[in-house]
Amino acid sequence: MTRRDELAAGLAETRERIARACGQADRDPDEVTLIVITKTYPATDVALLAELGVTDVGENRHPEAGRKLAELADLGVTDPPRMHFVGGLQSNKAGAVSRYADVIHSVDRSRLVDGLSRGAIAAGRTLGCLVQVDFDTTDPGRAGAVPADVDEVAAQVAAAEGLRLDGVMTVAPLGADPAPVFAQLVQMSQRLRSAHPEATVVSAGMSGDLEDAVKAGATHVRVGRSVLGERGSTR
Ligand SMILES: *Cc1c(COP(=O)(O)O)cnc(C)c1O
């Protein structure tokens, strides 16, 4: 079996999981965008995924994400997938990431908004932004804005030059039932859209919980292992 065959099989299986969950939730599978999270995997895998019709990929680290896009160009991929940045971002890296990312899923504080905006303006680009929300009150160390701060961060993004408020994102807390968390995110999205109708993206669900996310109403799932296989032990 070639790597291309492996990836094609992983993709088919993942798309089938999404379609089955959509069927159970009375949703159209076209409403759900699959973002394949390619962190730790080589650019050659991303090139194969693009060949297999993947339109959206995600990475969680700078500069790995930017380097992989440059490698894709070297591999002759002229129309690369959209790049979603899904990882924690230091304020001093925001400008660099805004040069190559299309959507940032991890906007969770004001300082990041300023840096991303400046970077996007400098690069002459418009950057999609999702406000990352953390519903886990038991662990203050987790990435994400607390729910009470979401409106303020969203308003800052919406007002910032070079940035577009696309919606909200969350990562379900480890070891807890993800369904209620995804339901809260969808509720928050509905509320946010009354002030920002354009913010329609609900990014939720990974390999272990994509069904729960689709059933709750996610518009974007972020899936790594289910497509690419288990990552090495480093992450
Ligand atoms: C790695 C990662 C994913 C994908 O996780 P899998 O378990 O490999 O599907 C999704 N979202 C974020 C933020 C990630 O860092």
Question: How do residues 180-226 score in pLDDT, each as one tens digit?
Answer: 999 999 999 999 999 999 999 999 999 999 999 999 999 999 999 99
Q: Please report where in the chains the tokens 């999981």 appear, as a residue.
A: 17
CA of 36 to the centre of ligand 1 (A): 9
Find the angle CA(34)-CA(9)-CA(170) to the nearest 5 degrees.
25
Is there a contact between 199 and 193 (Cβ–Cβ < 8 Å)? yes
What's the predicted TM-score (pTM) here? 0.97
DSSP 145: B
What separation, in Å, do the N-terminal and C-terminal C-alpha atoms of the chain show? 26
Nearest atom in ligand 1 to 39's CA: 1
Q: What is the mean pLDDT of residues 47-56?
A: 98
Q: Does residue 137 have a pLDDT over 90?
A: no
- From CA 24, how far away is CA 33, in angstroms rounded? 17
Residue 104, H or E segment: strand 103-107
pLDDT in tens, 89-130: 999 999 999 999 999 999 999 999 999 999 999 999 999 999
Amino acid at 233: S
Nearest atom in ligand 1 to 169's CA: 13
Q: Return the pLDDT at 128.
A: 98
My answer on whether omega of the bond before 63 falls inside 30° of 0, hence cis, is yes
Q: Does residue 233 have a pLDDT over 70?
A: no
CA of 169 to the centre of ligand 1 (A): 12
Q: Does residue 235 have a pLDDT over 80?
A: no
- From CA 19, how far away is CA 148, in angstroms rounded? 34
Mutate to test the pocket of ligand 1, among 17, 34, 37 (most ligand atoms within 8 A of CB): 37
CA of 233 to the centre of ligand 1 (A): 14
Domain ranges of the chain: 3-228
Predicted confidence band at 140 (pLDDT cuts at 50, 70, 90)? confident
CA of 207 to the centre of ligand 1 (A): 7
- Token digits of residue 20: 């089955």
Q: Return the pLDDT at 14.
A: 98
- From CA 130, how far away is CA 104, in angstroms rounded? 6
Find the residues whose C-beta lies inside 6 A of ligand 1.
Answer: 37, 39, 60, 86-87, 171, 206-208, 222-226
Q: Return the pLDDT at 139.
A: 83
Nearest atom in ligand 1 to 206's CA: 9
Is there a contact between 125 and 154 (Cβ–Cβ < 8 Å)? no
Which residue blocks in the chain are alpha helix, DSSP H? 3-24, 43-51, 64-74, 94-97, 110-123, 150-159, 178-195, 210-216, 225-228
Nearest atom in ligand 1 to 231's CA: 8
What DSSP letter does each residue of 154-190 carry, written as one string? HHHHHHSTTEEEEEEEE-PPTTS-HHHHHHHHHHHHH
The residue whose C-alpha atom lies closest to atom 12 belonging to ligand 1 is 86
In the chain, the largest separation of any two C-alpha atoms, in whole Å, equals 51
Q: Please report where in the chains the tokens 């972020």 appear, as a residue.
A: 222
- From CA 10, how far away is CA 224, in angstroms rounded? 10
Q: Return the pLDDT at 234.
A: 46
Q: What is the CATH number of domain 3-228?
A: 3.20.20.10
Amino acid at 161: E
Q: Return the pLDDT at 232.
A: 81
DSSP 3-state of 7: helix
